[in-house]
Amino acid sequence: MQGKIALEEHFSIEDTLMDSAGFLGEHVWEELKSRLLDIHGKRLAQMDQHGIEITILSLNAPAVQAIADRKRAYDVARKANDFLAEQVRKNPRRFQAFAALPMQDPERATREYERCIKELGFVGALVNGFSQIDDPKSAVYLDLPQYRDFWGVVEKLDYPFYLHPRNPLPHMAQIYEGHPWLLGPTWAFGQETAVHALRLMGSGLFDKYPGLKIVLGHLGEGLPYSIWRVDNRNAWTKAKPKYPAKRKIGEYFQQHFWLTTSGNFRTQTLIDAMLEIGSDRILFSTDWPFENIDHAAIWFDAATISELDRQKIGRLNAKALFKL
């Protein structure tokens, strides 16, 4: 399929490059590093070869969210956003941008988001899960009250917010001790991000801001498979939910969330997501440079779905959602 749009596609600046050093084996670090630092070379050639017309770029992880010092988090976010804006200006037909945000300081994050949308022409934000604030051992999640005004601005500006994974902090990850292979994209990324998304849904955030649009990668971090059980656990007891939100969690999931195919190139899983959330809310992505563009594109172009759904997932949904 020609004309695909991809939106979980990462780059790095020198300040955040080493944040990606541990995710893959040392034997591929030089290749990964070159992919992260490249935008207009091999990345664009791969796009051309595999029918991707537009890529929405985002900073690598955890990057800004792992900088406990509030001022430095702001400085790095602003530096990354200015760099990305310059790269997009070089080829705006092929590249668009997500803002990196210093969520350590909600007021600064709000101002930076407004700057990125209104002045730099970005099409949303991508934030790497929880933020460490002041104390490197802290983990502050986006459902907390101090972020409500920020979410109001996100709703008003009417662009999507991509909730991207990061690993749990070591002192919060005892279940992975002795099994480091479970960290990262194998399992911990999905578990961490799914719980964060559920917190947003249960907090009442979408009751207060019904126009919010949230994007999750990897075909929903396992949520399409589990969302029914989240609402219907022990249904025979007829107990009321213990969260502040006014409706069932599955309703928020179906009305406020979009899912990408990033790093999850499995037709059975795609079809499950389509059945749960609808093909209008699924978006093609690859997860470059951590996954291969050819693996994503070749799989998607041949997936056993209708051609109408292929066009919607591959291009049309993203074009509408991001106003491209």
Give the C-alpha distances (Å, rounded to integers) separating 98 from 11, 232, 306. 11, 36, 30
Cα(49)–Cα(294) distance, integer angstroms: 8
Mean pLDDT of 301-309: 98
Domains of the chain plus CATH, in order, are: 4-321 (3.20.20.140)
Name the percent of the chain lying above pLDDT 90. Answer: 97
For residue 24, the model assigns a pLDDT of: 87
* Positions marked catalytic: 287
pLDDT (mean) for 279-304: 98
Question: Minimal CA–CA distance to 324: which of 78, 54, 108, 9?
Answer: 54
pLDDT at 22 over 90: no
Q: Please report the pLDDT score of residue 192 as a whole number.
A: 98
Residue 314: per-residue pLDDT:
98
Are 65 and 132 spatial neighbours (Cβ–Cβ below 8 Å)? yes
Q: How far is CA 265 from the centre of its chain?
A: 16
CA atoms within 13 A on the CB side of 73: 26
Q: What percent of the chain has pLDDT over 70?
A: 100
pLDDT digits (tens, 9 = 90+) for 71-97: 999 999 999 999 999 999 999 999 999
Give the DSSP H or E segment for 190: helix 188-202
